[in-house]
Amino acid sequence: MRENIAICGKATQSSLHSNGIAYNSIDGNRAGYWSKGSCSHTAQELNPWWRLDLGKTHKVFSVNVTSNVENYVRLRGAEIRIGDSLDNNGNNNPRCAVISNIAPGFTQNFQCNGMDGRYINIVIPARVEYLVLCEVEVYASRLDSGENLAIYGKATQSTLYSVYVAYNAIDGNRAANVAKHSCSATANEFNPWWRLDLGKTHKVFSIKITNRIEDYTRINGAEIRIGDSLDNNGNNNERCAVISTISPGFTETFLCNGMDGRYINVVVPGRTVHLHLCEVEVYGSRLD
């Protein structure tokens, strides 16, 4: 189950009524009565809004909103908007949902289907109104969690040279000297490839590859391919990057800009060569 990340964010709003500060809507308390002191509350104004800053861009899957028991109809017509812009205080970002009605004191879930955004806004457009929110919960994943996903996957390769199994490239060890036995290697063959199975489709933002020290030019011209197909062993999936060169023993980062895929392939096309990889790291987020 996903964690409510709203409680780690910072909330603000267009104005303040009494002690209904913006933070009250992310205090982890769904109490719907105003007297409990757990609801945010703007002044009565045109286009009142409330905004949550998640600190970084996330992929937002759903937002829960808990209404006030008293005067719950005030939320009708409010819009949930998600994005990275602060234009018009964030209220011009793409719309996830319109709140038609939430029963007094109830929590309603709104599906946002993985919209990208740092800011979550709730705004009542084109109406003079109070905006009262008793809790806002956000369920999402960071676009780049900062965690290397490759270590949780399964690696295979086209052939095996000596003891240099495919797993060596995801063992968490960047040791680049072949004598350390932390690099993978195929036989000397035409179109050698290595493949990582992440288990599920992910949105892949970057891949880091560590090259071996000896014979480091063998990786020149290798392609990184990402997708969900195993056609041609996964080598027909969409291309993220071509490796022109990586200095001996160095780690190079390749940006894939959120490509969707379960399989990460590294293949050297049109050439007979050994494919050596001393470490492959994958940074991204699961789609579900």
User: pLDDT digits over 143-202, tens only?
Assistant: 555 689 999 999 999 999 999 999 999 999 999 998 889 999 999 999 999 999 999 999
Q: Are residues 137 and 153 in the same domain?
A: no
> Do the domain assignments include residue 113?
yes
Q: With contact defined as beta carbons under 8 Å apart, do 240 and 204 qualify? A: yes
Using a pLDDT cut of 90, give the percent of the chain over it: 89
Res. 59: pLDDT tops 60: yes
Task: Note whether 215 and 241 are same-domain residues.
Answer: yes
The residues, any chain, with a CB within 8 Å of residue 253's CB and separated by 6 or more, are 206, 207, 208
pLDDT tens digits, 93-112 = 999 999 999 999 999 999 99
Taken in order 46, 118, 240, 252, the sign of the CA dihedral is positive
Return the structure tokens found at 184. 């993978």
Overall domain count for the chain: 2
5-18 mean pLDDT: 96
At 286, the pLDDT band (50, 70, 90 cuts) reads confident
Domain that holds residue 134: 6-142
CATH number, domain of 193, equals: 2.60.120.260
Over residues 221-277, the pLDDT tens digits come to 999 999 999 999 999 999 999 999 999 999 999 999 889 999 999 999 999 999 999
| Claim to verify: residue 175 and residue 274 sit in the same structural domain | yes
For residue 217, give both structure tokens: 């030019």
Q: Looking at the structure, tell me whether residues 186 and 280 fall in a common domain.
A: yes
Give yes or no: residues 42 and 136 share one domain.
yes
- CA dist., res. 206 & res. 212, Å (int): 20
Single out the residue in 108, 142, 176 at which a domain terminates: 142
One domain for residues 45 and 97: yes
The answer to whether position 235 is within a domain reads yes
Q: Are residues 251 and 195 in the same domain?
A: yes
Report how far Cα 43 is from the mean position of its chain's Cα atoms: 35
Q: How confident is the model at residue 2 (pLDDT cuts 50, 70, 90)?
A: low
Identify whether residues 127 and 157 lie together within a single domain: no
Question: Is 172 part of a structural domain of the chain?
Answer: yes
Q: Are residues 174 and 271 in the same domain?
A: yes
In a domain, 1, yes or no: no
Domain end marker among 98, 121, 142: 142
- Domain ends where: 125, 142, 159? 142
pLDDT, tens digit, 9 for 90 and up, residues 110-134: 999 889 999 999 999 999 999 999 9
Backbone phi, psi, residue 15, to 5°: -165, 180
